[in-house]
Amino acid sequence: MLLTEIDHVAIAVADLEAAIDFYQRAFGATVTHREVVESDGVEEALLRVADSYVQLLTPTRPDSPVAKAIEKRGEGLHHVGYRVADCAAALEAMKAAGAIAIDEAPRPGSRGTTVAFIHPKSAYGTLIELVQE
Ligand code: CO
């Protein structure tokens, strides 16, 4: 089994501060990490749940993929991040199984991770992110 953990569940939101406030009031959640990833046009807030995270994602510019996702489908579940020991090996395994890679090779993600995305069209409608810590 190449997946070692659910790394994060990512939720696209229009207003990051409001979403953080909601999670704080509803669950007593605290933000353990915040980061702007300019290359992806997103700002994220990570709320720890055991060894995983809820990742609240908001666009930093109107042409970012997350902005387009909110425009098309509204706020909501955006992708699932699966933690793997070796992102390159997991990416190759997924491609061999017929999945379409959005990233042809692993690239830097937030928190100093190495990541690769798999197209939802080839993965039962779910955008998948492979995350190596
Ligand atoms: Co992610």
pLDDT tens digits for range 29-85: 999 999 999 889 999 999 999 999 999 999 999 999 999 999 999 999 999 999 999
Ligand 1 centroid distance, CA of 33 (Å): 13
Mean pLDDT to the nearest integer, 86-107: 97
SS3 32: strand
* For the chain, counts of helices (H) and of strands (E): 3, 8
Q: How far apart are CA 108 and CA 39, in angstroms?
A: 10
Tell me 125's DSSP state.
T
What beta strand segments (E) does the chain contain?
3-12, 31-37, 42-49, 52-59, 76-84, 107-108, 114-118, 128-132
Taking 90 as the threshold, does the pLDDT of residue 95 lie above it? yes
What token pair was written down for 122? 């080839």
Ligand 1 centroid distance, CA of 8 (Å): 7
Ligand 1 centroid distance, CA of 25 (Å): 23
pTM equals 0.94
The band of 121, judged by pLDDT with boundaries at 50, 70 and 90, is very high
Ligand 1 centroid distance, CA of 47 (Å): 13
Ligand 1 centroid distance, CA of 41 (Å): 13
**Residues around the ion ligand 1 (C-beta < 5 A):** 10, 81, 129
Q: What does R_g of the chain's alpha carbons equal in angstroms?
A: 14
